[in-house]
Structure 1
Amino acid sequence: MKQTVPMRWDLDSLYPGGSRSPKLMNFLTELQQSIENITNDIHKLQPYEEVSTEPLVQVFDEIQYVMSGSFQVEEFLICLRAENTQDDHVTKMIAESAKTKADLEKMEVEFDSLLASLSEHAWNELLENTEVRTYLFHLKERRQRIEAKRPHEIEKTIQSLSVSGFSAWEDHYEQQLSKLRVPVETAGKTEPFSIGQAFSEVLFSDEEERRKTIIQSYNHVCASHADTFASILNNISGFRLDVYRERGWDNVLKEALEQNRINEETVDTMTAVVKENQHLLRDFLERKAQLARKETLTWYDIPTSSFQSKQKISYAEAKDIIVQQFHAFSEKLGAFAEKAFQEGWIEAEDRADKMDGGFCTSLPLAKESRIFLSFRGHYQDVVTIAHELGHAYHNAILHELPYFARQKGTSVAETASTFSENLVLDAAVTRATTDQEKLALLEMKIVAGSTYLGMIPSMYEFEKEFYKKRQNGYVGSEEISTLMEKTETALYGDTVGEHDRYRWMTIPQFYSTEKPFYNIPYTIGYLFSNGIYTLSKQQGEGFARRYDALLRDTGRMTVEQLAAAHLHQDLTDKHFWEASIKPVADAIEEYLELTNTMV
């Protein structure tokens, strides 16, 4: 008898009882006490001029443990909130976790102070320690960043104020977004849909008038709440700019570039190549409009499919497709996917009380991951699972390293996910038996590419312009919406007639307090991964080992260093980025050729 594939994840194996788990509460208490103890130990070691590195390494080990623990608790609570939006106690636990995180961040300021106080002799001795060499990149990086910040007492104050300020605004945004409801009429009855549910209804509905009605309702809801979201966005960006000003940072991209471990020259080269090739996106959208017998598209036409496979895919079939394609690349990746499906790492059940979207969380102490989505039987759901499993595989490789060595830049965080997505989708395109089926899959690939090559780079331009305006004072909701519309017009030209003026309200990355300019890393990662995927097809057997080695070094190298060491590529040369765009360009070319006789 065929083994049943569980569609709900197992969280009790981590902390039984969910948000009221005694084990979870006890662990939070343990973390808080450990942070206090470590802070005291750090104070005793400053200034550090001793020859022996043993006391330092012991403190480093303790710090990495509480960092792993705090991160795991935070990720676990994200899972709880996602699986049941009605669990109010999760919000209380998130607040408790935020306090622990704030204490941890203050402890990190003390840690940075300790690193700064090391004598040259002590630092050189530390560099020779075998254990420390594993995460030396991280320590060097921290030492360099210390010089760019204010004295540690001021940094501690900033962290304290962020709990009820900076971080609280992000939490407020998440609560407000999760509460937005779009009235949608179905069979004569009006129901309140979440933003995600409303978008899904528009995306998969065949009734044009119904789609228009839902979008009108969506616009009305967004317009009535725009001032609230503008206030949140202004307070988050204002706090960030105040901190930058206090630190003397005159480049608003400085923190984002450091977090992504990438040079501004590389980003500029990539975005220039993307802009040069955006005509491909407009060619595709023009054909899409012709197929729909429309003069222009609307913003919500872009992600919809002109060609759809009517075949529904079961969850068991989805698992088989993914496992087979993963095994075709490497036995290690295939075995990992089987484990994730069978051991309850994936929450896939389609329920009304869940949050929308998909994500993968890392649980470093358990050395596991959890994947979240709502599986509705579309091939896009299969691609989403493959994407998130890529993240989980990346996590599994990094879980074998010390915590300091796992801290990958956000621009390479999408490397394994996009790679895994390509494995599944390209195989399906190759095996398609009809033009209709092939076009449906090609369109899925192109629409995904249009997000990374079109919408996200335009969001990057929007955000840079918004911050310029914010430096001069409060930016009202109407001005933000107008800027958003202007940005989309510059991207799509005449191919799109109606734009999403309220996109700035529904993209959580704009409201991230930990990761500024959190949109563009997705394009960097997408293209970087595409380049790796292209090389894997060219080099074939043996590449899987190089791929794993690259993933393992993502917490110990810059993006440029990763490309040079494992791919022998120069990322300031536009040829790498042009090659990375080619798979999408080829898909568009094939799509246009197959649809020539249909218009």
Structure 2
Amino acid sequence: MLHLPFPVRDAATETGSGGLGDLPVWDLTDLYAAPDAPELQADLDFVEKACAEFAADYEGKLAELDAAGMLKCVQRDEAISTKMGRIMSYAGLRYYQKTTDAGRAKQLSDLQEKITNFSTPMVFFTLELNRLPDDHLDTLFAQNADLARYKPIFDRIRAMKPHQLSDELENFLHDLGVVGDAWERLFDETIAGLTFEVAGETRNIEGTLTLLTEQDRDLREEAAREVAAVLADNVKTFARVHNTQAKEKEIVDRWRKMPSPQHGRHVSNQVEPEVVEALRTAVVGAYPRLSHRYYELKRKWLGLDKMQVWDRNAPLPMEDERKIGWAEAEKTVMEAYGAFDPRMTEIAAPFFSNGWIDAGVTEGKAPGAFAHPTVTEVHPYILLNYLGKPRDVMTLAHELGHGVHQVLAAEQGEMLSSTPLTLAETASVFGEMLTFRKLLDDAETKQQRKVLLAGKVEDMINTVVRQIAFYDFECKLHDARRGGELTPDDINALWMSVQGESLGPAFEFMDGYEVFWSYIPHFVHSPFYVYAYAFGDGLVNALYSVYAEGDAGFQDKYFDMLKAGGSKHHKELLAPFGLDASDPAFWDKGLDMISGFIDELEAMEE
């Protein structure tokens, strides 16, 4: 089953790319030549046959395997995963290029069902693996170094051992997965089909949200009120999606004896709940010195008594409205990457020249931005909705960071390449920081520096404060759903309960803002994913501090960290830099960087 290939960034875009130059489009032929390519059918046939043969050869026999036999078993599983990943990556990427295309939606759905059916006989593998004694596996690892390399995968699987159900129930849940995916597609297709009338033009949701970053305050207000009105007209559908998915999750979690709705995400992220709670506590405690303080500054810059939601991402009055062409964006990011280490540009170059980026804004295209690694035998693909705004350049830097990370981690092979979500944002946020620092160094005036610093602070607040507020909203929503069906008003109230706390007293909230939860895709596609953004930003801020202090051999250690993929725990990966995410002071180090930028902005007012 394919979920969103990589959780999208909350980026606002609009249809059109005039004056931006030639925007690249995906070339998906590295996956398959066409939707009806014989190679795709051949891979489907392989998956069907290989899954059945795998089950016939190994079901009920894992305990009998010696180290060499277990290695062969794992490698066969990896080969099947690679074929399935290639098939679903192709179908998914075609769909995200045009979610309103019925043919693409049908192919994605049909292939999901086939892959689910074909792979059902393999459900036994993880279940049976978890019934093997720890000392038995330790003995096998000691006997075969090639098998021992896969130990992190075994550890990840066995982390779910306390929550494992009977074989029959696990098979049932596997087959039922396509139904849950249908709710995700309902959300995607509903969002993609919404239309908004602003300034005499009909726009999609991304085209409307981007107006919230325009200089014209009346236009921003009109856009915000139109978003509120259209979302309110559809809020029953969105509430139904959230109620159903939250209830389904509650049932599965209850059967699996999960201690909390978030626990499954923590397990899959290979992060301890107390580490996430330390992050959350640090960020919430920092609201007054971060978002509250910054938005009070911005309120003064905008000359307002109170800020409204349509002012949150407004440009500063002195901000340059010039659009940045694609060629300039590419040059800026590549120079920033190259100044850090030439190896970065070598890895990044094919993204621009070989059709690995889809940058333009087209009808029905998935909103926001993501980088999807596909499979390790191919390469990642990046989706953008590029409109030439400074934030779009930073989004390019962000997603290209993901792409570089995914290329480097591919050396680990299919099973070990996938980075836990808590570390998956490392290279992307670091790439943003490199690009920002380059732009800041190139600033020619105090005003340019102020605009850049303010933009970076806003991005960091959106990444840290906003995402932790999102996380708190999700925690409240899933807890409340355990008590019964939630009306749209119930969900609206939960949303508003975190907004004032996170944004601060500079804001008042228009009627209608209470439904803005309904367009956020993360809540539907990847429950509790959002804290990974804050985790990544805090981690990178601490990491960048080490780099800025001139840490010897930093680049080589950084590349080693990215190459590790999912083969090491965050504690192991951060140790060479002298960092430890389980130390509460670690998060303060990252938050201090944001606070320091705000200090500099306040000093400019004196």
TM-score range (shorter-chain normalised) is over 0.9
How far residue 159 of structure 1 moved from its aligned partner, in angstroms, is 1.5
The answer to whether structure 1 residue 510 and structure 2 residue 518 are counterparts is no
Q: CA RMSD in A?
A: 2.1
Q: Choose the corresponding residue for 1:265, options 264, 269, 274.
A: 274
Q: Which residue does 2:56 correspond to in 1? A: 40
Q: Which has the higher contact order (CA 8 A, sep 6+)?
A: 2
1:592 aligns to what? 602
1:233 and 1:104 map into 2 onto residues whose CA distance is 29
Question: Residue in 2 aligned with 1:202?
Answer: 212
For residues 472-501 of structure 1, give each alpha carbon's deviation from its aligned partner in whole angstroms, at most 9, with x where no partner exists. Answer: 111111110121112101222321101631
Q: How does 1:111-122 map to 2 (within 5 A)?
A: 111-118=125-132, 122=136
Q: 2:291–2:502: 8 Å Cα contact kept in structure 1?
A: no
Q: Given the superposition, is the C-alpha separation of residues 6 and 126 from structure 1 closer, same or farther in structure 2, using an over 3 Å criterion? A: farther
Does the 8 A contact of 2:371 with 2:380 survive in 1?
A: yes
- Structure 2 residue 97 is the aligned partner of structure 1 residue 83: yes
- Paired residues of 2:470 and 2:530 also in contact (CA < 8 A): yes
Is the contact between residue 457 and residue 520 of structure 1 (CA under 8 Å) also seen in structure 2?
yes
In structure 1, the partner of 2:320 is 309
Deviations 1:451-472 (A, max 9, x none): 1232111111111111111111
Aligned-partner residue type, residue 197 of structure 1: G
The TM-score with structure 2 as length reference comes to 0.91
Q: How far does residue 503 in structure 1 lie from its aligned partner after superposition? A: 2.6
Q: Distance between the aligned counterparts of 2:269 and 2:516, measured in 1?
A: 24
Distance 2:151 2:127 in 1: 17
2-side partners of 1:167 and 1:447: how far apart?
33
Q: What code does the residue aligned with 2:583 have? A: D
In structure 2, what is the equivalent of residue 158 of structure 1? 173
Q: Secondary structure at the match of 2:199?
A: strand
Distance change >3 Å, CA 325–CA 523, structure 1 → 2 = same
Q: Deviations over 1:76-109 (max 9, x none)?
A: 2332123233432111121123224434664553
CA contact (8 A) 2:54 2:122 kept: no
Are 2:371 and 2:402, in contact at CA under 8 Å, matched by a contact in 1?
yes
1:32–1:406 CA distance, 2 compared to 1 (3 A): same
Q: Secondary structure at the match of 1:183?
A: strand
Q: Does 1:392 align with 2:403?
A: yes
1:16 counterpart residue number: 33
In structure 1, list runs of 5 or more residues that go unmatched.
Answer: none
Cα deviation per residue 1:131-156 (whole Å; 9 max; x = unaligned)? 12222111123124223211222111
The 8 Å contact of residues 70 and 97 in structure 1, kept in 2 or not, is answered as: no
Q: Which residue does the alignment assign to 2:486?
A: 475
Change (3 A) 1:185 1:169: same
The one of 128, 133, 156 equivalent to 1:141 is 156
Q: Is the partner of 2:198 in helix, strand or coil?
A: strand
CA deviation string 1:204-258 (max 9, x = no partner): 2x32222222222211111111111101101101011101111222322211111
Range 422-431 or range 138-147, more displaced: 138-147
Q: Does the 8 Å contact 1:289/1:297 carry over to 2? A: yes
Equivalent of 2:544 in 533, 536, 541? 533
Instruction: Please name the residue that 1:212 is paired with.
Output: 221
Aligned-partner Cα distance in 1 for 2:344–2:178: 40
Q: For residues 26 and 88 of structure 1, what CA distance do their matches in structure 2 show?
A: 24
Structure 1 residue 174: deviation in Å? Answer: 1.4
Q: Which amino acid aligns with 2:313?
A: P
Q: By how many angstroms is 1:540 displaced?
A: 4.7
Name the structure 1 match of 2:9: none
Q: Does 1:577 align with 2:587?
A: yes
Equivalent-residue separation in structure 2 for 1:184 and 1:539 (angstroms)? 50
| Amino acid of the structure 1 residue aligned with 2:284 | K
Is 1:487 equivalent to 2:491 in the alignment? no
1:109 to 95, 118, 123: 123
- Asked if 1 retains the 8 angstrom alpha-carbon contact of 2:467 and 2:530, the reply is yes
- Bigger drift between 474-483 and 340-349 goes to 340-349
CA distance in 1, matches of 2:508, 2:554: 45
**Residue 23 (structure 1) shift:** 3.0
Amino acid at match of 2:586: F
For residues 79 and 368 of structure 2, the distance between their equivalents in structure 1, rounded to whole angstroms, comes to 30
Hey, what does 1:7 align to over in structure 2? 24
Partners of 1:120 and 1:219 in 2: CA distance? 54
Q: Secondary structure of the residue that 2:373 maps to in structure 1? A: strand
1:353 offset after TM fit, Å? 4.6
Residues 208/48 of structure 1: CA separation in 2 closer, same or farther (3 Å cut):
same
Which one of 404, 423, 434 corresponds to residue 423 of structure 1? 434
Measure, in 2, the Cα distance between the counterparts of 1:484 and 1:81: 30
Q: Deviations over 1:297-325 (max 9, x none)?
A: 11231122214223332211211111111
Q: Percent of aligned pairs with the same residue?
A: 22
Matched ranges for 1:55-454 at <5 A: 55-103=69-117, 106-107=120-121, 109-118=123-132, 122-128=136-142, 129-164=144-179, 166-186=180-200, 190-191=201-202, 193-204=203-214, 206-279=215-288, 280-306=290-316, 307-454=318-465
Instruction: Indicate which of 38, 47, 52 corresponds to 1:31.
Output: 47
Could you tell me how far 1:122 is from its partner in structure 2? 4.8
AA paired with 1:295? Answer: D
Contact 2:469 2:498 in 1 (8 A): yes
Indicate if the aligned counterparts of 2:47 and 2:118 stay in contact, CA closer than 8 A.
no
Q: Which amino acid aligns with 1:503?
A: F
TM-score, reference length from structure 1: 0.92
Structure 1 5/548 Cα, relative in aligned 2: closer, same or farther at 3 Å? Answer: farther
Runs (5+) with no aligned partner, structure 2: 1-20
Deviations 1:267-317 (A, max 9, x none): 122222212221121111011111111111112311222142233322112
- Amino acid in the other structure paired with 1:325: A
Q: How far off is 1:507 after superposition? A: 1.0
- Identify if the C-alpha distance between structure 1 residues 275 and 117 changes in structure 2 by more than 3 Å, giving closer, same or farther: closer
Aligned mates of 1:171, 1:117 — CA distance in 2: 35
Contact 1:510 1:517 in 2 (8 A): yes
Q: For 1:404, what is the secondary structure of its paired residue?
A: coil
* Alpha-carbon separation, structure 2, partners of 1:458 and 1:476: 21
- Preserved contact between residue 113 and residue 178 of structure 2 (Cα < 8 Å): yes
Other structure's SS at 1:360 match: strand
2:530 is equivalent to residue 519 of structure 1: yes
